[in-house]
């Protein structure tokens, strides 16, 4: 996929670590503009990450009764690789995710999470942070839980430098696909 020169340079610098520039959604943008921005970010990330050796985003659809099993399996798979890991999930799922990952030092406490093997965070807590591997759980719930949901989803999917895995039982929110 060809990416416009300026955008490609911004993303290339960000991926290469020479710049931490981010395109942010501003308050005056409408929902449709944010959706287009998320779609564009997913496509750009997939294209640029592939060229820099990072993997394409992975979308894992699962039955609702297997959501937590799949989430912890994907987190454990990421732990087997080098780097930092965040699981970004709705707050209602944090306690169960922490319980299932207790043997690998998972934490949702904001002060301890960054030193833990697995940081379990809400989207707002992940803002401004970067992780090598990110597992996003139920993005539709992340979007509907907050008035600025689409903006927080944008923040969530841009926290990774190597791998992005999206685990969901509900349909994906508008804009969060590679198609």
CATH number of 5-168: 3.40.50
Instruction: Find out whether 61 and 49 touch, Cβ atoms under 8 Å.
Output: no
Higher pLDDT, 147 or 56: 56
**What is the percent of the chain where pLDDT is above 90?**
37
- Predicted confidence at residue 43, as pLDDT, reads 57
The model carries a pTM of 0.71
pLDDT band, very low/low/confident/very high, at 177 (cuts 50, 70, 90) = low
Cα gap 60→57, rounded to integer Å: 10
Give how far Cα 115 sits from Cα of 16, 107, 111, Å.
Answer: 24, 9, 8
**What is the percent of the chain where pLDDT is above 70?**
65
Ordered by start, the domain boundaries in the chain are 5-168
Q: What is the pLDDT of residues 85-134, one digit of tens each?
A: 999 999 999 999 999 998 998 888 766 777 889 999 998 898 888 899 99
Q: Is the pLDDT of residue 3 over 80?
A: no
CB within 8 Å of 88: residues ≥ 6 apart: 121, 122, 123, 126, 134, 135, 136, 137, 142, 156, 159
Closest CA to 42 of 80, 11, 83, 65: 11
């Amino acid at each position: 996929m060809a990416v416009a020169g300026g955008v490609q340079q911004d993303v290339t610098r960000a991926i290469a670590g020479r710049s931490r520039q981010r395109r942010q959604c501003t308050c005056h943008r409408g929902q449709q503009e944010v959706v287009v921005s998320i779609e564009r970010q997913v496509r750009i990330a997939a294209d640029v990450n592939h060229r820099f050796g990072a993997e394409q985003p992975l979308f894992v659809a699962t039955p609702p009764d297997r959501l937590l099993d799949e989430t912890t399996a994907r987190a454990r798979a990421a732990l087997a690789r080098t780097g930092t890991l965040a699981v970004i999930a709705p707050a209602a799922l944090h306690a169960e995710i922490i319980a299932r990952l207790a043997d690998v030092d998972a934490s949702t406490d904001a002060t301890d999470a960054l030193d833990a093997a697995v940081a379990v965070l809400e989207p707002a807590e992940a803002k401004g942070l970067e992780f090598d591997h990110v597992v996003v759980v139920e993005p539709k719930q992340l979007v509907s839980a907050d008035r600025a949901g689409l903006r927080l989803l944008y923040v969530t999917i841009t926290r990774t430098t190597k791998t992005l895995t999206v685990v969901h039982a509900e349909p994906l929110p508008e804009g969060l696909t590679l198609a």
